[in-house]
């Protein structure tokens, strides 16, 4: 009903539509007058011929004759009656079969279709719209970002210049607006100066234009831009971008972090205020074969081992979790804590076996650069005969060719990193390499989220999504200070202190064993205490900082807050809901 109301409002909003509707009504009145005249003349002529018919019968004969149905149950017998019948018939052809359809389509149906399109893809937002997110292109990153925004009740719109595409995306269930992203008037109508964030996720040139246009309206609204070229970063920043994301660079670095090679030092994956989240391989360290309790890592270094990656699957670390040879640990601590960890474990080498990089494109080049910085030997398999960089490590040939992989050193390699941007190719190469070397570590890039599980079934130990990585980076910027999303749904978040935990020691709560969440910090008296001791008493604590998966967070609320988010989280969601309701009321009232 709300959608129909919005269509009606859009329909009557345009002056031309109102004028056309008046013309349609005038035509209908003229047609009704003609039919009344014919009904009157029917009575006159029928009585002239000595026939007696009711007025209803006369109207019935007029409708049947004008519509060319001609049932023949009422006929005239004189020439006058026959001439009148022909005149009525010809009038019906003109009025009902020609003019009425044309007038209806021109003055009503076409404007109604246009009103439907405008209701689904409006050109402007209400003046009171605030704290919304505007996304400049519908693509894989936008889809992944919208899913996160929906989960936290953020108000968003995707700006699409082409109306047919806008309507198609709207039919998929996304909120879209129709407008040209290089037109300042578009951003004025979208209240961009009051937005919480503008995401320019097109190519570098379009993103530069968008950023420059936004800055004409506002110097303060945050703008995040995307690029695949390091040369464009400075230009985008000069245009006014607050944050420039090079997803190729981010993807390459993330793929290399998953390599269990080189030293056992930690590799940074995220920050939450002064808290640092990192990953560290366990291979060839004294930690292998020990449980979390037996490592005494908290006592020795101050870091918390909060989770473990095992063949691409994230497991919540409990006191009884066993660390294996191929385990990659997720550790949390301050910079000082991680330095102590490196001093203790950095002397161990996971392996000196080489790494094979399949694909020498942008991501493959970043991977090679990161491997070189970590002093890990590698080879790049690329079909092109020349590479701009790392030519000395280049093996020319098809990655699906067994002899090419043998030449690259597959028999001795410890890890294969698959970097092409086509998921079908990556799935094929993953399956192929797994059959050739069942024990080798395989790390693969995915462009689409839906192919992550397929890559894992094909044999990938780790598969990282291009779109999810971009969406996480945007969401972390939007949620800074409250939440940080890491890979594979692993999050750090701040919550109000549940009453059930007040006055108790952290060690007595067994939060990690019960929910999978780990307390990594508390806020007390306006001060953030990171990595509190297990004997720390939760007294006069306003907020606690936890790390865990989304499922772990749900278990936390179930155990300690009767299944409901804390007051702060409820207010957070409530604000987003109120904004969504305001938007719905606006659309239905226009």
User: Considering only 95-109, 227-241, 319-333, which range has the smallest mean pLDDT?
Assistant: 95-109
Cα dihedral: 580, 583, 587, 589 (round 10): 110
pLDDT band with cut points at 50, 70 and 90 for residue 197: very high
Question: What is the share, in percent, of the chain residues with pLDDT greater than 70?
Answer: 88
Residues in the chain: 590
Query: Is residue 211 pLDDT above 60, yes or no?
Result: yes
| Res 176: pLDDT | 93
Given a contact cutoff of 8 angstroms between Cβ atoms, the answer to whether 492 and 271 are in contact is no
Q: At what angle do helices 163-171 and 110-120 cross, to 10 degrees?
A: 70
Classify burial at 308, counting beta carbons within 10 Å of its beta carbon; exposed 0-12, middle 13-18, buried 19 or more: buried
Summarize pLDDT for 507-523 with one digit per residue, the tens: 888 888 888 888 888 98
Report the DSSP pairing between strands 176-178 and 394-396.
Answer: unpaired
Given a contact cutoff of 8 angstroms between Cβ atoms, the answer to whether 275 and 333 are in contact is yes
Of 7 and 203, the structure prediction assigns the larger pLDDT to 203
Distance CA 560, CA 564 (A): 9
Q: What is the mean pLDDT of the chain?
A: 84
**Token pair listed for 505:** 């020691």
Query: Is residue 577 pLDDT above 50, yes or no?
Result: no
Query: Is residue 573 pLDDT above 60, yes or no?
Result: no
User: Considering only 15-19, 47-51, 357-361, 580-584, which range has the smallest mean pLDDT?
Assistant: 580-584
Q: pTM of the predicted model, to two decimals?
A: 0.71
| Res 406: pLDDT | 94
How far is C-alpha 120 from the geometric centre of its chain's CA atoms? 19
Distance CA 56, CA 39 (A): 9
Query: Is residue 117 pLDDT above 70, yes or no?
Result: no
Distance CA 11, CA 180 (A): 23
Distance CA 516, CA 499 (A): 19
Beta strands in 91-137 (DSSP E): 133-135
Listed in order, the ranges of the chain carrying CATH 3.40.50.720 are 133-241, 352-468
Between the alpha carbon of residue 185 and those of residues 182, 217, 220, the distances in Å are 9, 10, 18
Query: Is residue 570 pLDDT above 50, yes or no?
Result: no
The alpha-carbon radius of gyration of the chain (Å, integer) is 34
Mean pLDDT within 380-393? 86
Listed in order, the ranges of the chain carrying CATH 1.10.287.70 are 2-119
Query: Is residue 109 pLDDT above 70, yes or no?
Result: no
From the options 1.10.3210.10, 3.30.70.1450, 3.40.50.2300, 3.90.1150.10, give the CATH code of 485-577. 3.30.70.1450
How far is C-alpha 299 from the geometric centre of its chain's CA atoms? 41
Summarize pLDDT for 473-502 with one digit per residue, the tens: 898 888 776 677 776 567 888 888 888 888
| Res 1: pLDDT | 45
In CATH, the number for domain 133-241 is 3.40.50.720
**Token pair listed for 10:** 């859009």
| Res 584: pLDDT | 38
pLDDT band with cut points at 50, 70 and 90 for residue 589: very low
pLDDT band with cut points at 50, 70 and 90 for residue 571: very low
| Res 479: pLDDT | 76
| Res 230: pLDDT | 86
| Res 587: pLDDT | 35
In CATH, the number for domain 352-468 is 3.40.50.720
**Token pair listed for 97:** 């079969």
What is the helix (H) or strand (E) element at residue 149, kind and residue range? helix 140-151
| Res 171: pLDDT | 86
| Res 313: pLDDT | 77
Cα–Cα–Cα angle for 401, 404, 407, rounded to 5 degrees: 150
Distance CA 335, CA 342 (A): 11
DSSP-H helix ranges across 276-328: 292-295, 297-301
CA neighbours within 13 Å on the CB side: how many for 407? 16
262-349 architecture in CATH? Answer: 2-Layer Sandwich (3.30)
In DSSP terms, which residues pair with 330 in a beta bridge?
279, 307
Mean pLDDT within 28-41? 92
Of 96 and 202, the structure prediction assigns the larger pLDDT to 202
Classify burial at 481, counting beta carbons within 10 Å of its beta carbon; exposed 0-12, middle 13-18, buried 19 or more: exposed
Listed in order, the ranges of the chain carrying CATH 3.30.70.1450 are 262-349, 485-577
Query: Is residue 445 pLDDT above 70, yes or no?
Result: yes
Q: Starting at the earlier edge strand, list the strands of the sheet with 304-310.
A: 267-272, 275-281, 328-333, 304-310, 313-316
Is it true that domain 2-119 has CATH number 1.10.287.70?
yes
């Amino acid at each position: 009903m709300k959608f129909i109301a919005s269509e009606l409002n859009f329909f009557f909003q345009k002056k031309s539509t109102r004028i056309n509707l008046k013309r349609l009504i005038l035509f209908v009145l003229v047609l009704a007058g003609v039919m009344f005249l014919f009904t009157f003349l029917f009575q006159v002529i029928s009585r002239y011929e000595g026939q007696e018919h009711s007025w209803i019968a006369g109207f019935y004969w007029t409708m049947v004759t004008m519509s060319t149905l001609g049932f023949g149950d009422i006929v005239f017998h004189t020439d006058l009656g026959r001439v009148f019948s022909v005149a009525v018939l010809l009038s019906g052809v003109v009025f009902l079969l020609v003019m009425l359809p044309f007038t209806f389509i021109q003055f009503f149906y076409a404007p109604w279709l246009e009103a439907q399109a405008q209701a689904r893809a409006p050109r402007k937002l209400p003046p009171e719209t605030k704290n919304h997110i505007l996304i400049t292109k519908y693509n894989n990153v936008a889809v992944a970002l919208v899913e996160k925004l929906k989960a936290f009740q953020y108000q968003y719109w995707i700006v699409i210049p082409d109306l047919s595409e806008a309507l198609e995306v709207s039919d998929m269930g996304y909120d879209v607006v129709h407008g040209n992203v290089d037109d300042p008037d578009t951003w004025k109508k979208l209240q961009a100066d009051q937005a919480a964030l503008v995401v320019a996720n097109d190519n570098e040139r379009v993103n530069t234009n968008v950023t420059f246009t936004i800055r004409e309206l506002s110097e303060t609204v945050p703008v995040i831009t995307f690029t695949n070229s390091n040369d464009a970063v400075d230009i985008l920043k000069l245009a006014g971008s607050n944050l420039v994301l090079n997803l190729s660079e981010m993807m390459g670095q993330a793929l290399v972090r998953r390599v269990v090679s080189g030293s056992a030092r930690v590799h940074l994956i995220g920050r939450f205020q002064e808290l640092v989240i990192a990953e560290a391989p366990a291979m060839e360290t004294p930690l292998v074969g020990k449980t979390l309790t037996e490592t005494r890592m908290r006592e020795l270094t101050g870091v918390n081992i909060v989770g473990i990656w095992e063949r691409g699957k994230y497991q919540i670390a409990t006191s009884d979790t066993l660390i294996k040879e191929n385990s990659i640990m997720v550790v949390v601590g301050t910079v000082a804590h991680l330095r102590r960890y490196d001093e203790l474990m950095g002397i161990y080498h996971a392996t000196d076996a080489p790494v094979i990089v399949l694909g020498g494109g942008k991501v493959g080049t970043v991977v090679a650069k990161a491997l070189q910085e970590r002093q890990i030997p590698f080879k790049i398999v690329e079909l092109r005969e020349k590479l701009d960089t790392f030519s000395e490590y280049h093996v020319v040939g098809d990655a699906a060719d067994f002899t090419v992989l043998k030449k690259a050193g597959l028999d001795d390699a410890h890890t294969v990193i698959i970097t092409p941007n086509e998921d079908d190719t990556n799935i094929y190469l993953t399956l192929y390499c797994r059959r050739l070397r069942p024990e080798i570590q395989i790390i693969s890039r995915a462009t689409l989220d839906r192919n992550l599980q397929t890559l894992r079934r094909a044999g990938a130990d780790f598969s990282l999504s291009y779109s999810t990585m971009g969406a996480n980076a945007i969401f972390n910027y939007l949620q800074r200070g409250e939440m940080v999303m890491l890979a594979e749904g692993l999050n750090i978040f701040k919550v109000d202190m549940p009453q059930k935990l007040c006055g108790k020691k952290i060690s007595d709560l067994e939060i990690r064993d019960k929910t999978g969440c780990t307390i990594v910090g508390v806020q007390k008296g306006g001060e953030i205490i990171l990595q509190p001791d297990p004997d720390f008493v939760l007294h006069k604590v306003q907020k606690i900082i936890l790390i865990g998966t989304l499922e772990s967070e749900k278990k936390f609320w179930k155990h300690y807050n009767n299944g409901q988010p804390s007051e702060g989280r409820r207010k957070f969601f409530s604000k987003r809901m109120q904004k969504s309701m305001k938007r719905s009321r606006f659309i239905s009232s226009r």
